[in-house]
Structure formats: structure tokens, C-alpha cells
Structure 1
Amino acid sequence: MNDQERSAAPRVGVVGLGAMGLGMARSLRSAGYDVGVHDLRAEVAAEFAREGGAAFPTPGELAAAVDVLIGVVVNAAQVEAVLFGEDGAARRLRPGAVFVMCSTVDPAWSAELGDRLAESGVLYLDAPISGGAARAAAGELTMMTSGPAVAYALAGPVLDAMSATVYRLGESAGLGSKVKVVNQLLAGVHIAAAAEAMALGIRAGVPAEALYEVITHSAGNSWMFENRMAHVLAGDYTPLSAVDIFVKDLGIVLDSARPERFPLPLAATAHQMFLQASASGLGGEDDSAVIKIFPGIDLPKPMEG
């Protein structure tokens, strides 16, 4: 981005500097944007400021300084706090500014949020994300978005700077979240199935490394098997996406289908598996730790050194 482009570019804010949000903020800075941030962990925001960004003590103060505000928090309750809590962002965003909501939430709630923001003239993009922390840092996310053309006119280049692909699914808020619900159904079921298959093979006496090698080169492979069962082989359950994330996300999947009386037997079973893992004290571990619910298997241990 040259000096003329920088002067014409929207000012961007990111609320929520977890594994995804911090990477997104950094990728935006790498693309040449002036980026302000807010996080409840002031030290994380301060570190970003030392890298060349700007830290703000509240969502409201950040909102007042930007044209595009991106929310990368965990759930709808946290989005509510960011926008409508004490010194929240909603009343400080100028008319015509854009709020980009990247959390996984109920699609009906997302649609309602768009209506609430429109009352004060704030534009809204429903924009859930997929790709993980590494792709967030590289600016290679997949974004499932919906919203009015005028919001894309301002925020579209910002989305492009964070993403490998931005899907524009329509003008209605909630469409992006509906697609994310389907994605999370598949992701959760695939992780649960991968864990079940790996556990069965280990219990049957197949060396875990050999099982992984064969399956990742066979028709039964999936992206989630290849990615998450590598964590199991390493004995490393450091959370990149935690068990409790899928307790939440699969709960949203089931809740969104219930008004339609639409059966989701595989999603319900996977949800129970993640609930069991969480109830066993594994909620904060990597979601691959769902394999630990299976009895009598000798899982690989972390490598020393």
C-alpha cells in the first residue's frame, strides 16, 4: 500500500486478540493498514502497540477512532458486551461505519444484530471465519460473509487483506452464519469421527504412527483426521481450538436446526462426545483431546526435550 492508498484507506479496529484476532490484526498491519486494537488482556494489546499498532482501553474508544471495527470474540454474549456493554462500541461508531462480526453465533441472532445496529446508522457484515491461527496470521482465512453492498464498498478491501477467499453470500445478515453452522457441523463430526477411528485402531493394537500414515493416504482420510490426529501422535493437546469451542459450536448447530424440526443425529452424537470430554475436565485442551473419552487406550506421550 503506497502513501496515497494509505491516506485513503479506512481506519481499522480489531476487538479480541486471541489466536485468530491477533493474527488478523497483524496481517492487516502487514497489508499497510493503520490498526487499533482492544483486548481485555491489556498486556496483549500493549504488545501489539509496540509492534506499531495502537491500543485502546475500551471498545468504545476504539470504535470512535475507526471506520471498520472487526469483532473476533468467542460468542454472542461477548459480542453483546463489546457493542452494548459499558463504554461499548455501538454508540461510538459513526453512522456509515461498518461492524464486521467474525464470531460463530446463531444465525437468527446475527440477523437481529444487523437490525439493531442499523437503528443508529451502523452498517453490518455477518462474517464468520475459518482457517485457524496460522492462516489468520498469514492473511489466508476463509470468510463466509453477507451484508449490504455499501458495507462491502468500505470494508471489502479490509476483508480481502485478511483472507485468501471472501465469500459474498447475499445481502441478508445471517447468511454467513448459516454457512458457518454447516461448516462447524462437519468440522465437529469429522473431529469426533477421527478420534473414534484412531482410538479403535490403537485399542486393536495398531501402532498409532502406522495407522496415521495409512489413513492419511487412504480414502478414509479427512482434513480433520490429518490435522487433529497429528496432535494426538505428538501427545500435544495445547489448545489451538479447544474442546469447549465445539461444545459451544455444535450446540449452536443443534439450536439452529431445532425450530425447523430438522434431525441432526451425527451432530448430536458428536456434541455429546465433546460434552463428555468437557465434563471430564478436558474443556480447555485442544479439541483433539476428545479422543481421551475412550477407555483402555494407550495414547502417545509428548516427546521429551
Structure 2
Amino acid sequence: MRQIGLVGLGAMGLGMAQSLRRAGHHVHVYDLRAEACRAFAADGGTACASPAQVAAGCDVLVSVVVNAAQTEQVLFGPDGAAAALKPGSLVAMCSTVPPEWSAALEGRLAERGLLYLDAPISGGAAKAATGQMTMMTAGRPEAYDKAGGVLEAMAAKVYRLGERAGNGSKVKIINQLLAGVHIAAAAEAMALGLREGVDAAALYEVITHSAGNSWMFENRMNHVLAGDYTPLSAVDIFVKDLGLVLDTARASKFPLPLSATAHQMFLQASAAGHGREDDSAVIKIFPGIELPAGKS
């Protein structure tokens, strides 16, 4: 049994913590929602009052928060984890962040004698809960040595993409380019079908068994059919992530016309008040259609 710390019990982080516990590790957790920590600890594990308290009992810390700003708070804010970790400990950062920021973080932690893995994740809450998600990792060999089997306890696929931080985040951003564009295209296709009077369930059945299908169409348009926009991944996540995609490409003057259009669609949905709804709610920007009834 290893003592592992995890900060961020959201849709992905909770499943990852559960996977670590199933693998036999003792898991110390922190989340801004104290009730989430207590619920996890009730089934085994330790609820902590701060990232520093998590770090004090562990030599591997997994950070699963939303963005770079939140990661900064976890590591370097008041009661941050970096100052409490013992030299030689490992930080695995699983958020979607600018690649250059992740590369710089490796150096900042090295100055404190800490190891770092750039380790963004993909697969959704269901795969996180079953330990079947994908990790896109990069870091020094000694960081992987320190991780041992911790990454494999959380993910079915752990890709090693280089010996310096940054490449994991670059690959994750490319994944988010495709994910965002696919969701936007799926919403546009379903919206056209509704406008043309096609039965939504019939359209879904045909497309999911035809060449036009995508994983995002099959998954997200099922939410639309159910009229359920409970956020598993919110509209505002793709406002952020496609923004990172465009920022990365802009730095090298590389054109991304489809990404730019999809980003505008998510921005429009967010501006209309749907930012905290499931990202399939991007379909709500289309005029003159009647969506299947259900939760709003």
C-alpha cells in the first residue's frame, strides 16, 4: 500500500481516487467541497483540510483541477502542496493547460527538489470511475520511476510522449481540438435534422450506424435526446480548451478555421447562459428548432 494524495474530486478526480483505492493504495484527498471529501473518506481513505495536509502524508500528489490558475493555487497558494511535499516527491498534473506553462512548472518544482509529470487525461467520468481512461504523459525517467504503478491504477492507456514536460499537454490540446469540433459538428447535424422535421431518435439511430458517426455524436447527442444537460463536461470547459488550442496555434501563426468556428459556437452558448450546462447544450444556439423535452 502506498500513500497517494489527490486534489480535486470532480467528475474525473473522484473516479481516479476510487481507482487508486481499488488498487490497494491509501488515498488522501482534498476538494473545496468538504462534503465530497467526507463522502470519499467514509468508504476508506483520508479527508484533508488543505492541499498542504494532503502533501504532508504522501510522496505522490495527483492534481485534477480545472486549469492552470487552480493548479497554481493547489501547489503554491495559501496551504499549497509544494511547500509541504518532501524532496523527491512527485506531482502529476492532470489538467488541460498551456504546454509552455506545464514545461515551466517542471522547472519550478525541480528548484524545490520535486519531480513532475505532465499528465493530462481523457475519457470522461465513466472511464475514470473504472480506471479505463487515457493519460498523455511526459516527464523525466526518474519521475516515471517514482510513479511506479500509480498511473496504471488510474488509466488503461498511459502514453509516454517525451522526457520533458509539455508534450503531454500538446497532445491533450490536439485531442481537445477534435473533441470540441466534433461536438459542435454533432450539434449542428442534429439541429439541421430537427429543423427539417426528422425524428430525432431515428436520426440518432441511423447516424450511429453509419459512416458519419463519431464518438462525440454518439455520446453527446444521446444527452440531447434525453433532454438532460446535467454537466459531465460543461460548455465553459470548451470555451477554455478551444481557447488554449487557438492560443497555441496563434503563437506559431498556424490557421485553425474549424477550431475557431467551434470556439465561437461555445462562446455563443455560454453568453446565452448555458456555460455551466453539459457541452451538448451548444445545440441551443440554433434558432427555430424544438429540442426533446427533459431536464434543462
TM bucket, shorter chain: over 0.9
CA RMSD of aligned residues (A): 0.8
Counting only pairs closer than 5 Å after superposition, residues 199-210 of structure 1 correspond to structure 2 as 199-210=191-202
Unpaired stretches in structure 2, ≥5 consecutive residues? none
Paired AA for residue 158 in structure 2: V
1:45 is the counterpart of 2:69: no
Q: Give the alignment's TM-score, normalised by structure 2.
A: 0.98
The secondary structure found in structure 2 opposite 1:150 is helix
Deviation of 1:156 after TM superposition, in Å, equals 3.6
Counting only pairs closer than 5 Å after superposition, residues 1-305 of structure 1 correspond to structure 2 as 6=1, 10-302=2-294
| Percent identity between the two aligned chains | 73
Paired AA for residue 250 in structure 1: L
Paired AA for residue 290 in structure 1: V
Deviation of 1:296 after TM superposition, in Å, equals 0.4
Stretches of 4+ moved more than 2 A in 1? none
Give distance in 1, aligned partners of 2:233 and 2:129. 15
Query: Counterpart of 1:3?
Result: none
Give distance in 1, aligned partners of 2:113 and 2:203. 56
Give distance in 1, aligned partners of 2:219 and 2:249. 28
Paired AA for residue 226 in structure 1: E
Paired AA for residue 10 in structure 2: G
Give distance in 1, aligned partners of 2:126 and 2:202. 27
Give distance in 1, aligned partners of 2:281 and 2:57. 41
Q: How many residues align?
A: 295
Give distance in 2, aligned partners of 1:190 and 1:272. 14
Deviation of 1:257 after TM superposition, in Å, equals 1.0
Q: Give the alignment's TM-score, normalised by structure 1.
A: 0.96
Unpaired stretches in structure 1, ≥5 consecutive residues? 1-5
Deviation of 1:302 after TM superposition, in Å, equals 1.8
Deviation of 1:168 after TM superposition, in Å, equals 0.5
Q: Deviations over 1:113-165 (max 9, x none)?
A: 11100001100000000011111110111000000111111214000000111
